[in-house]
Chains A and B, each alone.
Chain A
Amino acid sequence: MFIEFFYTLRERGVPVTPTSFLRLHKALSTGLIHSLEDFYTVARSVLVKSERYFDMYDQIFAHTFQGVELVEPDDEEITEIAKALLEEWLKNPADIAAALGIDERELERLTPDELIQYFFERLKEQAEAHHGGNKWIGKGGTSPVGHSGYHPGGMRVGGGVSRNKSAIKVAMDRRYKDYSQDGPLTQSQIGEALKRLRRMVPAGPRDVINVDKTIYETIRSGGEIEIVYDRRLRDRIKVVLMIDNGGWSMDPYVHLVQTLFNYVRDQFKDLKVYYFHNTIYDEVWLDPPRRTKPERILDFISKDPETRLIIVGDASMAPYELMHTKGFIHLEKKRSRPSIENLQFLAETFRHSVWINPEEERWWGAWTIDNIRQVFPMFGLTLDGLDKTVHYLMSRN
């Protein structure tokens, strides 16, 4: 049974190792585990090494020891969604009525119970028919569910409440859902992910003693002490961030991108932010409305090639915008070469460059995405994606 448990964890993508499994058996032999609840706690502490997998662990635990089915979204989840929707409806009846496609007055006649029932049916339909097609039950930025800090089922932190609950119940609560890998990003998460983006170079006053040189110089001057000082290592990385801030296609991600932007702005001293619309033509702008401070792409050749270039955009547009010399959608502007060549030029100028796409990776179907991916490595704006971004940006040092 434990072996099956172990392999289910592995299959479902929780990184568990044989060593930790053996260690779990060692823990079982210490005589400290008396109940299934103890086992739940100890096994999680020994096997699972990140709160991101706690939710998956809870599901698998309930599945293995109670036969709860591993399906998504389960009824409980839908209940949570329905609750959130109900709250939303109280605040904003017209929107929900429109989203559900029924008349507002008709909606008002329903009792809350009927309403929830109605939501249930619609949600199940929705989830099966076009999963994620409509943002209000998806994980997108505008969804009423899945705000950071929202805890479905409540967080259980010991105390009197928990003791009556069995481990299965606790596991079925799925109280760690918040920490699942695909959850919304917070500023601190972004901060942690980007913190490793550093390049240390000596700078500032010489106030650190270099022992080796001191000894050498002291011997050279015949035992007369000669102390040699060095500069401290400072972070001197240069970052250029280019953000797609135009077009309705980026709207759902505005909040996410802002979070990224805010963090990056106070973290990196040498940071330049530029804006563009959909894709990069001959110019990018220093001002968000993209009107007064253009900078020519060709001038970027004079920048330090060690600069890290990060482009944020959904990379989804009409193919001609990317490929055609007359692709620029603002007709009054003249351009000389297709956007894709500008992108290639940037990729050649800055060897450390990536494209971050805030759209969920599984929707990366657009033709232009494929093409841009041939120029820049593309990562999602998730914890995983940022991790890979940093890894990529620092790997060729």
Chain B
Amino acid sequence: MRTKLKSRKELEELQKKLHRKLDTGKTRISICNGTACRPYGSNPVAESFKSEIAKQGLEDKVDFKVTGCHGFCEKGPIAIIEPGNIFYQKIKVDDVPEIIQKSVLNKEVISKLLFKEQSTGKEITAQNELPFYKNQTRIILGNNLLIDPTEIEDYIATGGYAALAKALFELQPDKLIGIVKQSGLRGRGGAGFSTGTKWESCRKAHGDIKYVIVNADEGDPGAYANEGLLTGNPHSVLEGLIIGAYAIGAHQGFIYVRNEYPLALKNMTIAMEQAEKHGLLGDNILGSGFDFHVRINRGGGAFVCGESTALMASLEGKVGEPRAKYIHTVERGLWDRPSNLNNVETWANIPLIVNNGPEWFSKIGSPGNSGTKIFSLTGKVNNTGLVEVPMGIKLRDIIFSIGGGIRGNKKFKAVQTGGPSGGCLPEKLLDSPVDFDELTKAGSMMGSGGMIVMDEDNCMVDIARYFLTFLEEESCGKCVPCREGIKRMRQVLNDITEGKGRESDIELLGEISVHLKESSLCQLGSSAPNPVLTTIQYFRSEYESHIKNKKCPAGVCKALIQFSIIDEKCPGCGMCVKTCPSNAITFMGKKKPVILDQSKCIKCRTCYDICRMGAVSIE
């Protein structure tokens, strides 16, 4: 049972002791059991490893760790074996005994579990050599591999909480704020405001009681970068928060986690309990005299609560309605007191900056955009997952070098960044550097890190309609422009996708957009037009096709497409007949093409997806 650490020295001694324990010559297996790997069955695989190791009595030979997100979510369940940095993917429960037998006991590599390069089929053994990983700069996420998020000592062993000790015992708050300012760190939640400047304003604000808040309400659909960090390395966020509290002079903190992230909630709760037991949180942290307590709050299923004033309203027990920010929240925020709110990833950067110095940090990334950014790269790419790259890297490099290009050899069409507040960027912008300023120039924004890749089979008008439908449901409903404006835009887009579009619709969408941008109460409303405006700007021809020709070139909008059987290709196997939910297809006998009754067809795509002969076409 760990006793409280009462001084910096005690922490350092513990860290040394734990670090020594790592160099034991044992084989280390690290298996990912993050949220994104669970649908692949990572939990049973992890359990299987545990029981197999116990069964064979190998606890003294094997150091087995269940960790959070490794990043390469596409290939889950994944495991890394050291020594050798062996990367195994798509592991099944049945593979476990073989892995123990061959790779752990006999140091052999199992070919079928290795990653194979897309184009050449070449097998790659070492995780660091995988194109997915070698083009990243994993200064934050990299540690996930070494840490069981439910064991604080893992975090301490890697040097965790040393930054906190340095801050508390070596740096005065003003100096600490200066360091953060100098590093050039900008808010990772999307707005990209200078973190150091924000801290400074909060510190200077009038009032004795101040608050620090972690915004973990990552609501952008398709973004789970914060989730991977919170679940995999909650202490990195906690440590950053405590350092920030010390710098600002706050003694109470809040972590607001989305209701839809049960694992993140669980792991952060455990982390807080353990930190408190170790004297790293609570009263008299590490004997420094600094008190700081944290409370976790769960979201209630409202995207708008990612907006800082709405989040604070929710913390106060009210509905998540934003309010005007003419007076900043750093002056009057939670309960009208100075409050500093930052995103999960922003907080996680702080220990790195304190440990390595602002110059080190500012050298990573691009001018005015220091450091790295974690993206959830998803959609139609081969290698989906959480990627961490230096600011300024080209979109093309993320999507093709790391992402491995478009799956199924389809053609790239667009990439959506910034969630519903961002925009869709076309092929001609693929060489744009990814940073706050460049993305904004292109009409999109960084957002919290969602990066969704689309191909020729995605309809951009449908995508715009999708985002507006989402925002309409998530709007708090307080202000007229957002509540009524998004509704009207969504209606127009519905009409367009149903073949009822009018010539004047594009202009109308533009006019409502300007109004929303200028008159909305909060950013939900003012950035709602972005998906519409960018798709009109870069994919106008698709809109015109829907409106003028009543056609959906990508074959998505149901009212504008028709499924039909290509007689020459149909072998009469009857697969589609069996699976058609509306009995619209009639079996005509073997080797005879089936007949599709248009009047019964509900355009569900089941036949198209199931036919192995490519005998169903969409027009």
A-B interaction: no
* Residues of chain B at the chain A interface (Cβ within 8 Å): none
* Residues of chain A at the chain B interface (Cβ within 8 Å): none
